[in-house]
Structure 1
């Protein structure tokens, strides 16, 4: 009888651990997303052990054409790279119900701490943060 109780208690603990781990996992953000300004498509998916997002298509041609370079990058050696195909969202890992990583803004050449998660409507909420202050954008699925 004691063995049965211990077995049931162990199975119950395993079930609770599995259920809470599944509940805490963030919704997948993989796929193609149209930015809030509707000027580009970002493709999000696995990059090794993390998730990243790359600029995959322009919906509005940038001032210097589709070959637009990363001219504002603080690293001079990266200023000649094309923005198309560049990963702007990098190092994202699951953290509770959201994903945490960094986001690069090619307009300013700055990199920010970032959080992203799926909203209730199925849109993607992407935040760039400096300290406790965050600015968010809502991206729509393609």
Structure 2
């Protein structure tokens, strides 16, 4: 009986760190670091995704398009409504998936992580080199 109790305590203790490192939710509306857009992040089936839901500033005129896309057939699609975060799933205390950059017309491996109460760290990565942006809650 004593051995069983010790095993139960050890098992319960082993599960505590896993819960402590669970990823914080990233769903909601976020203003990009450059202040050009609002990205809404939500559930897409069992994963998390995000799309541009509002253009705040544009150097491409009114109703900007995905003009830097490498696929000529996609260059006429509007940026507003464009899915830029795809396939995100929880991995420890982070969310991992892919991010599309309309500025460059490229897709990168990405990591999302909450940064305090009103912040989101958004990383775009090539191999092990990552560039981080800090997005803020948009209400």
What's the TM-score once normalised by structure 1's chain length?
0.86
Alignment of 1:57-72 (within 5 A): 57-66=54-63, 68-72=64-68
Verify: 1:49 aligned to 2:68, yes or no. no
- Aligned residue number for residue 141 of structure 1: 137
Count how many residue pairs are aligned between Structure 1 and Structure 2: 138
For structure 1, the 5+ residue unaligned runs are none
1:44 and 1:87 map into 2 onto residues whose CA distance is 10
- Write the deviation string for residues 7-50 of structure 1: whole angstroms up to 9, x where unpaired: x3454345335423321211111110011111110001111121
2:91 maps to: 95
CA distance in 2, matches of 1:61, 1:128: 21
Partner of 1:75: 71
Corresponding residue of 1:113: 109
Deviation of 1:87 (Å): 1.1
Structure 2: tracts of 5 or more residues without a match: none
Aligned-partner Cα distance in 1 for 2:10–2:42 = 33
> After the TM superposition, which of the residue ranges 17-26 and 100-109 deviates more from structure 2?
17-26
Whose radius of gyration is greater, 1 or 2?
1
Q: 1:130 aligns with which of 114, 126, 130?
A: 126
Q: Indicate whether 1:22 and 2:11 are aligned.
A: no
Alpha-carbon distance change, 12 to 77 in structure 1, aligned in 2, over 3 angstroms: farther
Question: What TM-score do you get using the length of structure 2 for normalisation?
Answer: 0.87
Out of 58, 62, 85, the position equivalent to 2:81 is 85
Secondary structure at 2:17 match in 1 = helix
Q: Displacement, 1:97?
A: 1.1
